């Protein structure tokens, strides 16, 4: 849906890392860098949480993000807002057009009921993992825990809301090679799990891998698509720039 | 859905019967088996509400677990309010409004600057109410709660429809004077309420009003 001009310059790539299906990851993305998420095989789900790295009490806020942008689905142009009215990250490119923001993650009970048990002793690193435990493991590495486990974003997964609020999972929403690019507008602790989406009706446990590609993106320009997408976004960028003013 | 279910309980039998004035916070404990009712006295009043396990606040209401477990976005009679540990905290047993929101969250000084204008920061907000209650209420002090514990809440009596295309809007309330929602506690819970003071959108019909809170012992 948008050009990946930055990616045509290989010198802009900082690093690449694979998150195997079901696995979890966390790391620091500095202001002005970006992360390309690639659904390598199609049908992946990447649950993501975002924290201000320098003050982790400030974190991604689902409600503030959705209501400020009048949407329940996230796509290009949208920004991920913190509870302090600032822009943690911006969705600067999106092949699949719409990511779930309100269904949360799978937990151990859901995975067991849906797919059965496959512990490490049986399956080694192909063991069944769930989203909640994966996120909590990563949060723990940064001194965070259950109190910090807030609603996040499920990239590559779409859930459709019916007339009476009934939910249906959009099967086949993402496809092999589909990408989403996040530009970080603050120093952000990113916490990820590639465990299955909790509403994915697929009967077998087969979460897809996601490739992370970090690259230099620079700061949002005055005419940045995400900044000008809505007046609310412009004000959130002002709040962010005031925070970094020196 | 949206079945309107009335309660057989009589307010004269309630063990707690209090008014929370417009724009104020309220905090209290509801024991397992007790029934808790919130009454929208004058209509169209959003009631921002959080629940915590009264013995371990690390276990708290989870909007996402509640939504995905019931496979439905809105709350009404029969909805089970799920904790972050996957346990049922409360079950909605009566509802004369028909639909309650759990996506819209709470207003805050900072989000008001984003949603409305930078100079709206000084306006009273739900997060200020939550923060004040955590400072002022003994039960919060006992549980060691702080900003870190303010998570995604329920907005009783608030109407936030989402379309199949994913559009989300704050609509005029579907509530009316005297409408109420009632829930049975399935564990001992601490209730943290902000009777929403928002003046910039229709969630309170631009006129925040008082609510009535009642608790009954199990019959």
- Residue ranges of alpha helices (H) inside A25-172 are 62-69, 108-115, 120-123, 131-140
Three-state DSSP class for residue A211: strand
Best probe of the B interface among A97, A102, A200, by most B CBs < 10 A, is A102
R_g of chain B, CA atoms, integer Å = 16
**Inter-chain touch A102–B113, beta carbons under 8 Å:** no
Three-state DSSP class for residue B94: strand
Whether residue B112 has pLDDT greater than 70: yes
Q: By the CB < 8 Å criterion, does B118 face chain A? A: yes
Q: Determine which helix (DSSP H) or strand (DSSP E) holds B143, and give its type and residue range.
A: helix B138-143
Categorize the per-residue pLDDT at B2 as very low, low, confident or very high, splitting at 50, 70 and 90.
Answer: low
CA angle A87, B157, B210 (to 5 degrees): 100
Q: By the CB < 8 Å criterion, does B1 face chain A? A: yes
CA angle B200, B201, B203 (to 5 degrees): 130
What is the per-residue pLDDT for A4? 47
Whether residue A8 has pLDDT greater than 70: no
User: Structural domain boundaries of chain A?
Assistant: 5-243
Taking residues A121-146, what's their average pLDDT?
Answer: 98
Three-state DSSP class for residue A99: strand
**Span A85-132, pLDDT tens digits:** 999 999 999 999 899 999 999 999 999 999 999 999 999 999 999 999
**Span A12-60, pLDDT tens digits:** 999 999 999 999 999 999 999 999 999 999 999 999 999 999 999 999 9
Pairing verdict, β A87-94 and B88-95: unpaired
CA angle A76, A77, A78 (to 5 degrees): 95
Percent of chain A having pLDDT more than 90?
A: 94
d(CA B216, CA A60): 38
**Span A190-208, pLDDT tens digits:** 999 999 999 999 999 999 9
- CB-nearest partner of A85 from B68, B110, B149: B110
Other C-beta atoms within 10 Å of B185: how many? Answer: 24
What is the per-residue pLDDT for A109? 97
In which region does residue A82 sit, left (phi positive, over 0), alpha (psi from -120 to 50) or beta (all else)? beta
**Span A159-192, pLDDT tens digits:** 999 999 999 999 999 999 999 999 999 999 999 9
Task: Calculate helix-pair angle for A62-69, A231-243, nearest 10 degrees.
Answer: 140
Whether residue A6 has pLDDT greater than 50: no
Whether residue B165 has pLDDT greater than 70: yes
**Span B26-84, pLDDT tens digits:** 999 999 999 999 999 999 999 999 999 999 999 999 999 999 999 999 999 999 999 99
Whether residue A11 has pLDDT greater than 70: no
- CB-nearest partner of A102 from B64, B115, B151: B64
Q: By the CB < 8 Å criterion, does B117 face chain A? A: yes
**Inter-chain touch A166–B99, beta carbons under 8 Å:** no
- DSSP string for A60-90: B-HHHHHHHHTBSEE-TT-EEEBTTS-EEEE
Percent of chain B having pLDDT more than 90?
A: 89
Q: What is the pTM of this model?
A: 0.96
Whether residue A10 has pLDDT greater than 70: no
State chain B's mean pLDDT as an integer: 95
């Amino acid at each position: 849906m948008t050009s990946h001009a930055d990616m045509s310059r290989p010198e802009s790539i900082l690093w690449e890392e694979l998150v195997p299906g079901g696995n979890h990851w966390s790391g620091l993305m500095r202001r002005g860098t970006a992360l390309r998420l690639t659904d390598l095989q199609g049908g992946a789900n990447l649950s993501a949480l975002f924290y201000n790295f320098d003050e982790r009490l400030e974190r991604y806020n689902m409600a503030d993000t959705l209501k400020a942008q009048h949407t329940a689905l996230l796509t290009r142009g949208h920004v991920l807002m913190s509870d302090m009215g600032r822009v943690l990250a911006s969705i600067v490119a999106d092949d699949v057009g719409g990511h779930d923001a309100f269904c949360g993650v799978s937990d151990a009970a859901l995975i067991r009921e849906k797919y059965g048990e496959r512990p490490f002793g049986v399956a080694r690193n192909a063991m069944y993992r769930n989203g909640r435990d994966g996120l909590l493991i990563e949060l723990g590495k940064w001194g965070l825990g259950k109190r910090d486990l807030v609603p996040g974003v499920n990239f590559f997964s779409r859930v459709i809301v019916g007339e009476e609020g009934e939910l249906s999972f959009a099967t086949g929403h993402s496809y092999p090679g589909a990408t989403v690019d996040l530009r970080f507008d603050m120093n952000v602790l990113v916490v990820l799990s590639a465990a299955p989406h909790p509403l994915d009706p697929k009967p077998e446990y087969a979460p897809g891998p996601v490739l992370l590609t970090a690259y230099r993106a620079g700061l949002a320009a005055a005419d940045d698509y995400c900044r000008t997408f809505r007046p609310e976004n412009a004000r959130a960028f002002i709040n962010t720039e005031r925070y970094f003013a020196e | 859905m949206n079945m309107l279910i009335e309660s057989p309980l009589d307010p004269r039998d309630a063990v707690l019967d209090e008014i929370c004035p417009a724009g104020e916070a309220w905090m209290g404990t509801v024991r397992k088996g007790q029934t808790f009712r919130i009454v929208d006295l004058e209509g169209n009043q959003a009631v921002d509400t959080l629940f915590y396990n009264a013995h371990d606040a690390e276990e708290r209401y989870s909007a996402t677990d509640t939504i995905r477990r019931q496979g439905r976005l809105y709350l009404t009679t029969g909805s089970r309010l799920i904790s972050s540990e996957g346990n049922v905290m409360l079950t909605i047993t009566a509802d004369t409004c028909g639909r309650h929101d759990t996506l819209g969250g709470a207003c805050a000084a900072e989000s008001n600057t984003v949603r409305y204008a930078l100079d709206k920061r000084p306006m009273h907000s739900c997060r200020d109410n939550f923060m004040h209650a955590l400072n002022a209420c003994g039960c919060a002090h006992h549980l060691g709660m702080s900003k870190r514990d303010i998570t995604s809440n329920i907005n009783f009596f608030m109407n936030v429809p989402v379309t199949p295309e994913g559009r989300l809007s704050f609509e005029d309330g579907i509530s009316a004077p005297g409408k109420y929602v009632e829930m049975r506690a399935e564990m001992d819970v601490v209730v943290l309420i902000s009777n929403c003071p928002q003046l910039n959108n229709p969630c309170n019909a631009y006129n925040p009003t008082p609510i009535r809170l009642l608790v009954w012992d199990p019959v």
